[in-house]
C-alpha cells in the first residue's frame, strides 16, 4: 500500500520540470527557476514548455503573435460568461469558461498531436480573456479587448484592474506567470494527465485541472492568505493571531509543502516583487504584516512559505481583486497543464491505479422489508 496521498509515488515520466525538495531547486526543462524569473518572459516559458526549447527572437515573435491572434473569445462565450448567476465566483466562471471554449471539440480514438498543440496555445491565450470577460461583466464594464501586440502579463493585468499597467507592474505580473507555469505532478496537473489518459479532449483535461486547483490545499491558498492578512489588524498583532491559530490546530495558508523541505524556490522572487511594488505604490502595510507572519510561523513551527504566500501581497499591491488571485495561477499553469497533456498523449496509457478494499467482505442480500 503506497503512502497516504500518494506521497513519493512515481505516477508519470516527464521532461517538463524537476524538483529537488531537499535543496529547494526547481527546473523547467533543465533551466533553473531563478534564471527564468530573472530573465524570461511568460511567452518564452510557454514556448519552452509546449515546443521544447527557449525560442529564438523570430520564434518569440511568432508565439506572441499566435497568442494575440488566439486570445479573442467568440461573442457567445463572452455573452454566456456575462450571464452567469450573480453568486458565481471567478474560479467557477473559469471552470465554466474552459468548458465553453471546448464546446464541439470531439474526442478521438487517435491522438492528433498537432491539433492538441494548437488547442494548447488556444487555451493559454484564452484563459486570460475568460478571466477578463467575467471580471468586466461583474463590474459592469465593457470587456477590455486584448491588445494582440501586448504581452499576456499586460493584457491580464489590464483585464483584472481595469487600468493600463505601468512597466514595473507589468513585469511583476510577468514574473508571477513565469513562476507559476509548471510544477511537476501537482494535484491539478495529475488531474489533467489522468483525464487526458482516457483519450478525452484537452479542454476536459484543463477543466478537471481548474477544479483541482481551486481547493485551499492547492491554488486556493493564495486567496486565503490575503484574507488572513486582512484579518490581522497590525504587525504587532501577528504573533497572538498566529499563536491562536496554532492552538486551535488550524493550518496557516501559504506554508508547508508536500515536496519542499526548504523554502519554495519561487517564494523569494514573489517576496522581492511584492516588496518592490509595495515601495513603488507607497503601501507597505500588507507586506510588513506578511513578513512578520513568515517570521512568526518559522519561529513557532519551523514551516517555510510556499508559492501561494507572497503572491497574495503581490497581487494585493497590483490592485487585483482577491478572488481573482487563483485564476492568475490557472492562467499561468495552463501552460504546464497543456504541456503535460501533450506529453501524456505522446505516449499514452490509461491511468488507472488500484485501491485497497477496507469494507466488509461478503454480505447476504437483505430484502427491503427485513432491513433496519
To ligand COA, the closest distance from the beta carbon of 258 in angstroms equals: 4
Among residues 96 and 304, whose Cβ is nearest to ligand COA?
Answer: 304
End-to-end CA distance of the chain: 35
Nearest to 66 by CA among 152, 180, 182: 152
Cell of 167: 512597466
255 forms beta bridges with 305
To ligand COA, the closest distance from the beta carbon of 249 in angstroms equals: 7
Known catalytic residue at 308: yes
Which helix H or strand E contains 194, and what residues bound it? helix 187-196
- Expressed in percent and rounded to 5, the helix, strand and coil fractions of the chain are 60, 5, 35
Given 119, 174, 264, 308, which residue is catalytic? 308
To ligand COA, the closest distance from the beta carbon of 327 in angstroms equals: 16
Among residues 36 and 307, whose Cβ is nearest to ligand COA?
Answer: 307
Sign of the C-alpha dihedral computed for residues 81, 84, 87 and 91 taken in this order = negative
Among residues 73 and 330, whose Cβ is nearest to ligand COA?
Answer: 330
Among residues 188 and 275, whose Cβ is nearest to ligand COA?
Answer: 188
Among residues 21 and 319, whose Cβ is nearest to ligand COA?
Answer: 21
Known catalytic residue at 280: no
Residue 151 makes CB contacts below 8 A (sequence gap 6+) with 41, 42, 43, 64, 170, 174
Q: Which residue is nearest to ligand COA (CB)?
A: 256
To ligand COA, the closest distance from the beta carbon of 87 in angstroms equals: 25
Residues that bind ligand COA (CB under 6 A): 5, 217-218, 221, 251-258, 303, 306-308
Distance CA 372, CA 370 (A): 7
Given 154, 257, 269, 340, which residue is catalytic? 257
Cell of 333: 499553469
Q: Looking at the chain, which runs of residues are DSSP E strands?
A: 17-20, 25-28, 31-32
Among residues 7 and 142, whose Cβ is nearest to ligand COA?
Answer: 7
20 forms beta bridges with 25
To ligand COA, the closest distance from the beta carbon of 221 in angstroms equals: 4
To ligand COA, the closest distance from the beta carbon of 257 in angstroms equals: 5
Q: What is the 3-state secondary structure (H, E, C) of 322-340?
A: HHHHHHHHHHHHHHHHHHH
> Exposed, middle or buried by CB within 10 Å (0-12, 13-18, 19+), for 298?
middle
Catalytic residues, by residue number, are: 257, 308
Amino acid at each position: 500500500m503506497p503512502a497516504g496521498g500518494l506521497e513519493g509515488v512515481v505516477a508519470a515520466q516527464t521532461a517538463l520540470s524537476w524538483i529537488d525538495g531537499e535543496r529547494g531547486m526547481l527546473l523547467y526543462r533543465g533551466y533553473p527557476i531563478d534564471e527564468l524569473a530573472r530573465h524570461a518572459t511568460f511567452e518564452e516559458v510557454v514556448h519552452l514548455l509546449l515546443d521544447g526549447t527557449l525560442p529564438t527572437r523570430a520564434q518569440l515573435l511568432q508565439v506572441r503573435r499566435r497568442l494575440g491572434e488566439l486570445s479573442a473569445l467568440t461573442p457567445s462565450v463572452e455573452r454566456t460568461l456575462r450571464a452567469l448567476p450573480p453568486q458565481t465566483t471567478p474560479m467557477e466562471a473559469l471552470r465554466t469558461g474552459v468548458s465553453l471554449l471546448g464546446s464541439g471539440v470531439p474526442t478521438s480514438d487517435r491522438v492528433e498531436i498537432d491539433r492538441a498543440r494548437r488547442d494548447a496555445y488556444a487555451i493559454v491565450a484564452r484563459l486570460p480573456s475568460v478571466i477578463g470577460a467575467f471580471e468586466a461583466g461583474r463590474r459592469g464594464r465593457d470587456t477590455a479587448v486584448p491588445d494582440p501586440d501586448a504581452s499576456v502579463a499586460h493584457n491580464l493585468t489590464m483585464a483584472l484592474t481595469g487600468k493600463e499597467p505601468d512597466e514595473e507592474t507589468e513585469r511583476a505580473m510577468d514574473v508571477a506567470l513565469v513562476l507559476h507555469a509548471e510544477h511537476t505532478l501537482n494535484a491539478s496537473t495529475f488531474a489533467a494527465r489522468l483525464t487526458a489518459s482516457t483519450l478525452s479532449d484537452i479542454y476536459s483535461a484543463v477543466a478537471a485541472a481548474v477544479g483541482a486547483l481551486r481547493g485551499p490545499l492547492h491554488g486556493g491558498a493564495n486567496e486565503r492568505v490575503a484574507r488572513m492578512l486582512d484579518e490581522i489588524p497590525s504587525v504587532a498583532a501577528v504573533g497572538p493571531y498566529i499563536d491562536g491559530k496554532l492552538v486551535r490546530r488550524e493550518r496557516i495558508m501559504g506554508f508547508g509543502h508536500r515536496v519542499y523541505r526548504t523554502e519554495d524556490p519561487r517564494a523569494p522572487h514573489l517576496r522581492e516583487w511584492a516588496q518592490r511594488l509595495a515601495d513603488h505604490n507607497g503601501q507597505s502595510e500588507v507586506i510588513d504584516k506578511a513578513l512578520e507572519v513568515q517570521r512568526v510561523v518559522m519561529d513557532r513551527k519551523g514551516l517555510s512559505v510556499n508559492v501561494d504566500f507572497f503572491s497574495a501581497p503581490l497581487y494585493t499591491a497590483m490592485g487585483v481583486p482577491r478572488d481573482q488571485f487563483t485564476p492568475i495561477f490557472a492562467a499561468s499553469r495552463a501552460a504546464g497543464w497543456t504541456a503535460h497533456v501533450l506529453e501524456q498523449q505522446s505516449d499514452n496509457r490509461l491511468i488507472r491505479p488500484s485501491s485497497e478494499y477496507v469494507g466488509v467482505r461478503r454480505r447476504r442480500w437483505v430484502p427491503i422489508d427485513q432491513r433496519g
